[in-house]
Structure 1
Amino acid sequence: MPPKLFDRPDYKGQFRAHTRDEFKAFLAFARHYWLLSSLILAGLIVLFVQTSPFPPKTVKIATGQPSSSAQILGEWYRDFFATNGITLELVPSDGAEDNLKLLQDGSVDAAITQAGIPAPKGSGLLSLGSIEFMPMWLFYRGEPVDQNRATQLMSQWTIAIGLENSGTYFMVRDLLKEYGLRPEEYSNLLKMPANESVEKILHGELDALFILAGTESHNLQRLLNAKNLNLWNFKASKATAGRIQYADAVTFPRGAVSLSPLFPEQDIDLVSTSVTLTVSPNLHPAIQYLFMSAAENHYANSENYFDRPGGFPAFLDRNFKKSPVAVKYIENRGSILKYDFPFWAASLIDRAWLSIAALLAILLPLTKLIPQYRKYHLYLVQNTHYAAMNELVIQIREADSLEALSSLDFKFQELASTIELTWAPAGTKEKYFFMLNALETIRRHIERQKTSLELLKENRVNPQ
């Protein structure tokens, strides 16, 4: 094997040395120009306070009833947050309207709500946008019915319509109005939790139930797989959605539950609202950013029977003020740094890059106005050492005894050790070696003076 003509450069070592040089030079510069350094530090503190880069480690979100879509969605978000080092605590509730109350009174930091529910007055709550469609389903027992008799049937059936503060009840109320029915006027329309209503209809204790749910809902899956239930086809879904401002017409496709046997056997038209993430105006921007990232990931990795052009997240509900963080995220689909940096760093740069650029635009010209700032450390140390060496040379010349010279030699050794350990940044090595040469000159002074004093002492002892 032929010998190596040269060794590979020590890139890592040079990088570490250069970084160390820059840091030490900066400290020396900061001490020398303390006023300018203080102004720069004050600017950095102001920037730090304004951007608040570090988010809280624990966040609370209001979800919904057990086994509901909101609860399952919250669990998915909890796992996503955990991978980013944030604990997301799930707070159960009666539903979407109850979630808003919890958010308004400060019990939680975020809430899973739905389009159409009005924002509490003066709350200042922010919307992170809609994250998926949430259809309204109507299941009923018995044989398939003529849906032209919808109003008559709904006024006669015993129907569960959800808890009063739930999203189901909120939308059912508007939906029934389109059929000329008011829940408060009919005793057959029962308010109860989703879990309870599912159990009752499966055991024949209800004629029908409304449930607002995504396909991931455990309650919905039980209903879809029940053999003794029929699914209502809202054939006028487009017309109904046109009358309800926040609603959309969606289609549950044929065979979505099972291809063998085929179920449903035909496309099912449904009326849907959209799930919205709503947050406190005080929620840290980085956490808002993380919610947006979670929403984007959930949409990309979920079965989407109910899609829209442009996908999710998107602003479909106009009842809440839009979060600036969410607006920017949706416009740009997140920061280009989100795949390479922690979420809080990507969020910080995304929010504060303009301020950081402005600060650098001020600082860089200032550093150029002060030439050779990296050499100031050696410059200051060099002046101190040369002054000490000059004083030592004078004392050596004036030494009139070997004892005095020995004391000065000890002092010289201490000074030499200090100078030899002096840090010299790149570009100043020549001046550093000049100091070492000066030490050799002083060492020769000591030797000559020692020789002179020894001769003088010998002449005194042995005069001729």
Structure 2
Amino acid sequence: MKENIKILAAMRPFARFTRISLRDLVVTVLPVLLVTAIGIGAAYWLMRPAPPNTLTITAGPTGSTFQLYAKKYQKVLAQKGIKLKILPSNGSLENLDRLLDPAAKVDVGFVQGGLAKGRQVDRLFSLGSVFHEPLALFYRSAKPLTLISQLAGKRLAIGPEGSGTRAVALELLKANGIGPDNATLLDLSGEAAAWGLVDGTVDAAFLMGDSATPGDMRSLIWTPGVHLYDFVQAEAYSRRYPYLNQLVIPMGALDFGQNIPGADVHLLAPTVELVARDTLHPALSDLLIEAAKEVHGRATLLQSAGEFPAPVEHEYRLSDDAKRYYTSGKKFLYRSLPFWLATLVDRFLVLFVPVVVLFIPGLKLVPALYSWRIRSRIYRWYGLLISIERTLLAQQSAEERTETLRRLDEIEAGVNGMKIPLAYADQFYVLRDHIRFVRERYAKESAAG
């Protein structure tokens, strides 16, 4: 019997030893790579994609203050590699409608205060207040008007549908008891309203920069018989309507020699905000505010240097990115690198974090996981060997002992056929010794039986 066992053992193939098991290494590293890939994917999903190189702004009619400002933004952004498309509109109200319409392909727009009442603007945010938009009321009259209520029965140009001019004009006229039943309201603005005042077909015209050009308003100041209305009740209006601000054109500010205007003129002016959808990329938010500082930051007749843009919330919440910009400025990368390079590095860092947090620590665990995998393969054979040893010690018939011995031969063949790294050769040979020990014990039991 002993001779037969020795012959069978000699016929078994020997284990294949390698420096390292590539298959086991791959299986060990794969979970680390998978977890890291999931982490990178989650980081990519949570962060915004790369900023687009094109933006669309909804501005105002051709030649209007809104459009002129948009063109200045266009030049500033072009220096950063961003193309700004300017979409004409009838004014603030249409700009707001477009921003609220998901089907409208716009990103930002100029919107004056007082238009958001009764609208769902949760998906919009403000990048800051950027300038005041004075309401100029020009009128024809032999005597100066002191109250808006004196316009009852007159032909009034209140601006086209969709303009912020129209919205403010209707609000002020309503507060003074004037409406379609006691006045003729004309959908005229800009050049048409100016010519109406000149030729006498219009008695008064409300003009604002969202729907009229600065040239139209300047020309009316010099037109004989046309007066610029002095809002003597400006303080009261500004308190009744919080979105309106009181501004003053000082005496002689337009022409010192002719002393125009001949006295201080009070105006009402809603604040215009740069409003964007909440999908605007943070990097582009910074660029737009930076452009607003360059365009609106200088001193003018009606504002001080550095007054705009301002992080003042009115009807639209200030975005978190805008709050961060006004508090601490641009991010370090965008201050130190060109915009395109800063964007690239910023995205790389976001993707690099999962690699540092997951992949590098995971690699440190690879040796331990690899060792556990090799040892577990050896321990599996030990489990089978112990089971057979217990079976051999039990009372068995001759056929059962033969079957048990066959299983022991299969175990030994399986062990000898293993692919084992050289570093674990000692454990391999210890296992073979234990298999031989079980065989010898089996032989002794058989001889004693």
Deviation at 1:359, TM superposition (A): 5.4
Determine which of 287, 291, 295 is the counterpart of 1:290.
287
Match of 1:95 in 2: 91
Report the identity percentage.
27
Deviation string, structure 1 residues 174-203 (Cα, Å, up to 9, x no partner): 22233x223333332322233311222233
1:116 pairs with 2:111: no
Separation in structure 2 between the aligned mates of residue 80 and residue 273 of structure 1, nearest angstrom? 25
After superposition, the Cα gap between the structure-2 partners of 1:187 and 1:132, relative to the gap in structure 1 and judged at 3 Å, is same
After superposition, the Cα gap between the structure-2 partners of 1:235 and 1:58, relative to the gap in structure 1 and judged at 3 Å, is same
Amino acid corresponding to residue 115 of structure 1 in structure 2: G
Match of 1:132 in 2: 131
Deviation at 1:341, TM superposition (A): 2.5
Separation in structure 1 between the aligned mates of residue 278 and residue 49 of structure 2, nearest angstrom? 17
Separation in structure 2 between the aligned mates of residue 122 and residue 352 of structure 1, nearest angstrom? 34
Match of 2:357 in 1: 362
1:196 pairs with 2:192: yes
1:331 pairs with 2:327: yes
1:320 pairs with 2:316: yes
156-165 vs 185-194, which deviates more? Answer: 185-194
Q: Which of structures 1 and 2 has the larger relative contact order (alpha carbons within 8 angstroms, sep 6+)?
A: 2
* DSSP-derived class of the 2:180 partner: helix
Separation in structure 1 between the aligned mates of residue 339 and residue 222 of structure 2, nearest angstrom? 40
1:230 pairs with 2:227: yes
Determine which of 50, 69, 72 is the counterpart of 2:68.
72
Q: How does 1:117-266 map to 2 (within 5 A)?
A: 117-118=115-116, 120-121=119-120, 124-147=123-146, 149-152=147-150, 154-178=151-175, 180-213=176-209, 217-266=214-263
Number of residue pairs matched? 338
Match of 2:368 in 1: none
Amino acid corresponding to residue 145 of structure 1 in structure 2: P
After superposition, the Cα gap between the structure-2 partners of 1:350 and 1:41, relative to the gap in structure 1 and judged at 3 Å, is closer
Taking only aligned residues, the RMSD between alpha carbons, in angstroms, comes to 3.6
* DSSP-derived class of the 1:78 partner: helix
Structure 1 residue runs of 5 or longer lacking an equivalent are 1-29, 371-464
Determine which of 261, 272, 275 is the counterpart of 2:272.
275
Structure 2 residue runs of 5 or longer lacking an equivalent are 1-25, 366-449
* DSSP-derived class of the 1:262 partner: coil
The answer to whether the Cα contact below 8 Å between 2:113 and 2:273 also exists between their aligned partners in 1 is yes
After superposition, the Cα gap between the structure-2 partners of 1:346 and 1:204, relative to the gap in structure 1 and judged at 3 Å, is farther
After superposition, the Cα gap between the structure-2 partners of 1:367 and 1:100, relative to the gap in structure 1 and judged at 3 Å, is same
Separation in structure 2 between the aligned mates of residue 368 and residue 279 of structure 1, nearest angstrom? 44
Alignment TM-score, normalising by the size of structure 1: 0.63
After superposition, the Cα gap between the structure-2 partners of 1:88 and 1:230, relative to the gap in structure 1 and judged at 3 Å, is same
Separation in structure 1 between the aligned mates of residue 199 and residue 343 of structure 2, nearest angstrom? 51
* DSSP-derived class of the 1:321 partner: coil
After superposition, the Cα gap between the structure-2 partners of 1:220 and 1:51, relative to the gap in structure 1 and judged at 3 Å, is farther
* DSSP-derived class of the 1:362 partner: helix
Separation in structure 2 between the aligned mates of residue 262 and residue 231 of structure 1, nearest angstrom? 14
Separation in structure 1 between the aligned mates of residue 163 and residue 266 of structure 2, nearest angstrom? 23
The answer to whether the Cα contact below 8 Å between 1:57 and 1:87 also exists between their aligned partners in 2 is yes
Amino acid corresponding to residue 266 of structure 2 in structure 1: D
The answer to whether the Cα contact below 8 Å between 1:103 and 1:109 also exists between their aligned partners in 2 is yes
Alignment TM-score, normalising by the size of structure 2: 0.65
Match of 2:78 in 1: 82
209-218 vs 129-138, which deviates more? Answer: 209-218
* DSSP-derived class of the 2:263 partner: coil
Amino acid corresponding to residue 233 of structure 1 in structure 2: D
Deviation string, structure 1 residues 22-63 (Cα, Å, up to 9, x no partner): xxxxxxxx9x96765664455344333433352112221111
Separation in structure 2 between the aligned mates of residue 209 and residue 62 of structure 1, nearest angstrom? 24
